[in-house]
Every structure is written in C-alpha cells, then in structure tokens.
Amino acid sequence: MTPVAERGAPSAPKVRPFRQRPYLPTVQEMQAFTLGRTTTTRDEIWLVEHPPVFTLGHASRPEHLHAPGDIPVVRTERGGQVTYHGPGQVVAYLLIDLRRRALTVRDFVSSIEDATIAVLGASGVEATRRAGAPGVYLAGRDGAAGAKIASLGIRISRGCSYHGVALNVAMDLEPFSRIDPCGYPGLAVTDLRSCVGDVDMADLAARFGRQLAASLESKR
C-alpha cells in the first residue's frame, strides 16, 4: 500500500475495506507507509483480520506470556503489553499525521476510544474506559469497567501514528487465557457476539472504520 499525496488541508482518512491479512507483512507495510509519507500524504485506516498471533509491545514482560503453544509470538514496536489477534477480530490500523491535525497523543487515543464505544453502543452494548488502562471495556455496575472488549496500542514516528485498535467481535477467546491480557493477570476478555449474538463481521468492520474516521474529523 503506497502513500498517495494530496494538496491542501487534510481530508477525511481513507478507509480501506476489511480483509484478511497476515500480521508481519501488514506491520511491514505500515512501517513503509509511515516512512514514505510526506506532509501531504492522505491519512488512512486499514481494517484487517489476522490469523492467530500473540504480539508483544516494546515494553512487554515475558512473564505475561504463559503458554503460547502453536500460536506464533511476534515482538513489535507498538506501545502496550501482550495481546492476541485472531479470526473474528476487527483490527483497525490508523495511519494518521497527528501534527497536521494538531492532535496530541492523548486526544488521538481518546478519539479511538470514543469511536469504539460509539460503534459498540450502536450494536446495543454499553462500553466505557478504564482509568490508567487504555482500551475499551464493558460497562459494569455503576459505570465501572468490566470485561475488556477492545485493545489499543499505537506507535508514533515523526508525528505520525501506526498500529491501532483491535475490537473483539466473534472470536475463540481461549487464547486470551494463555496470557495476561495487556499485562493484567486475570483480566476478563469478551467479544461482541457474547453480548448480542451473531454479528456480521464485514458490516461491523465497515461501520467501525466510518466511526473512527468521523471521530478523528470531530477533533479538527
């Protein structure tokens, strides 16, 4: 995926259609995109589903990975701890020029969480943040955070972001029991299907991409 230049103020991010992609080549494409972009390169959001893989953020500690078994383990340069990607999960990679949009990292993370909470709400699921733990969680009693349903990990290079957010839609959740998700022992993890029943993955991914783009535009 080669960056495409444009003139003038930044337009809405281009949302690439949801598709299945292996993890490592996708990361390499994000790195190349970010390295090759200019001040006029259009921002993009890539929507993908990966085969099973455990990924380790740059600060991950080995004790949080217990029993990977036959699932590959890949260390990446994103923030955050260990997580799992696999079938039934929509991963949105956000290749965004934060400087051009005058976004702080905190504002950027907030926009991603806002979009995730909004798309879950439209699916009938109340979700929330958890203080000190980026990501999105089911809203428990009195608004407290319950099981985690979306993980967030980003990398900023020269003011531009890559990596992004993984929303659990209709997964086999067993692999999460082999790790301390996001570095939290015993953290409960769930997916959208467990809350509302069968979900159309392609439709959910498309709505998620539009919501992420809209959330970024609302910060301008």
Report how far apart the first and last C-alpha atoms of the chain are (Å, whole number). 26
The tokens of 184 are what?
């939290």
Give Rg (Cα) of the chain.
Answer: 16
What DSSP assignment string belongs to 71-109?
S-EEE-SSSSSEEEE-TTEEEEEEE-BTTTTT--HHHHH
What DSSP assignment string belongs to 129-152?
--TTS-SEEEE-GGG-EEEEEEEE
Please list the active-site residues.
182
Nearest to 164 by CA among 205, 219, 212: 212
List Cβ neighbours of 63 (8 Å cut-off, separation of 6 or more).
180
